[in-house]
Amino acid sequence: MATPTEQPHWLDKEELETWFALAGVLARLPAALDRQLQRDAGISHFEYQVMAALSETPERTMRMSRLAMIADGSLSRLSQVVTRLEKRGWVSRTPDPTDGRYTLATLTHDGWDKLVATAPGHVAEVRRLVFDPMTKAQCRQLRDIGRRITTTIDPDDSCLRQPSG
């Protein structure tokens, strides 16, 4: 951080253009994905992320606190979303039998079916918006850049762990 007498280390022209390009993606991509999911499946991008995260776990079950971290939302926001998903029959909540202080969220069979029906359209939109405009080399660069920035933001982010093998 610059002291009151130091000049900030301003972004140069190229850095400023890069920052504006990244900020534009950060602002527009979530909204575009949300629009597609709302239009085609009647769910939000956050709801999709929650259901997708549950689908990747053993028994499609996870502690709510862990799910909030993976979905990058607060526990109160997640609780509200899970309540909506419960009303639709797509997620259920139960006390954690190993520690009653925690609550487990489980993707139901109907939730799995909804996710399976929704995933192809979502993946097509992700491919259209993100991957189709880039070369394979650019995709690898974007992956590496994303990991590097995220690690700088949160070095302990367990969601960044690279798959083994």
Q: What residue numbers bound the domain in which 90 lies? A: 41-119
Residue 138 lies in a domain: no
Q: Compute the Cα dihedral for 74, 80, 81, 85 and give only its sign.
A: positive
Contact 44, 122 (CB under 8 A): no
Intervals of the chain under pLDDT 70: 1-4, 157-165
CATH number at residue 61: 1.10.10.10
Number of domains in the chain: 1
The verdict on residue 128 lying in a domain is no
| pLDDT in the model for residue 163 | 43
- Record the pTM: 0.83
Between CA 68 and CA 162 the distance in angstroms is: 20
d(C-alpha 108, C-alpha 60), whole Å:
8
Asked whether residue 34 is domain-assigned, the answer is: no
Q: What is the pLDDT of residue 20?
A: 97
